[in-house]
Chain A
Amino acid sequence: GNSVTQMEGPVTLSEEAFLTINCTYTATGYPSLFWYVQYPGEGLQLLLKATKADDKGSNKGFEATYRKETTSFHLEKGSVQVSDSAVYFCALTQSSRGGSQGNLIFGKGTKLSVKP
């Protein structure tokens, strides 16, 4: 079945460091790929998305490229801030021959802590 695997955390970085959170997926058809972020005590917020191969999603300095050949959607940011401390989830939506299925399948989440 469809699944998402992302790197285990927690990840601790100093402010202004480079961030990479790896995400790979297994899916049939043509999934859309998402990164969501969850701040303490809150629900999920969309960070970025890509809906087809080679698309690059970007937002707030974060980027991820949909790589079909490596089934990956790694999240990167060139210079993290303390305010980026949160849990990051990689996710996909399925597609099926019978039509679209919009339910999200999530990775386990990666907790990021950024120290001043």
Chain B
Amino acid sequence: KAGVTQTPRYLIKTRGQQVTLSCSPISGHRSVSWYQQTPGQGLQFLFEYFSETQRNKGNFPGRFSGRQFSNSRSEMNVSTLELGDSALYLCASSPRGGRLETQYFGPGTRLLVL
């Protein structure tokens, strides 16, 4: 099976712009989660989607949003970018998102905000 894919791999944006990142889960996986990784805060959970519905959300401002399509592909959007949004954004998929399941991660999208 193909792994989790994320596009683009690298992005450079300026403050105030918005950005959309894409994630394609492993075939058959219906749960997609997003994480932000920064040197200062480490890995933090953004949100989880299952069957096109946001099921769980971390502690991030409303500028961070996402959605999931009927084929389980997911996008996340960050509006009004700030310098502090520079990070590696990781997407992970699992069959149903339960606590016993393994989450499989993509290679990430590295976002640099100037």
Interface residues, chain A, with chain B CB atoms under 8 Å away = 31-32, 34, 36, 42-46, 49, 51, 89, 91, 93-95, 100-109
Contacts and interface: CB of A to CB of B under 8 A. Distances in A.
Contacts of A43: 4, 90, 105-108
A94 B97 CA distance: 11
Given A43-B90, A46-B102, A104 B45 contact: yes
A31 B99 contact: yes
Give the size range of B's interface with the partner. 20 to 34
16 contacts: A32-B99, A46-B103, A49-B102, A91-B43, A95-B99, A100-B97, A100-B98, A101-B99, A102-B31, A102-B56, A102-B98, A103-B33, A104-B35, A104-B45, A105-B45, A106-B43
Contacts, number: 64
A103 B56 CA distance: 8
A75 B101 CA distance: 20
A44 B88 CA distance: 11
Contacts of B35: 104
B12 interface: no
Contacts of A31: 99
Q: Which 7 A-B pairs have the closest CB atoms?
A: A93-B99, A106-B43, A43-B105, A102-B97, A44-B105, A100-B98, A100-B99
A43 B107 CA distance: 4
A102 B33 contact: yes
B24 to A, nearest CB: 13
A42 B6 CA distance: 12
Contacts of B94: 102
Nearest to A31: B99
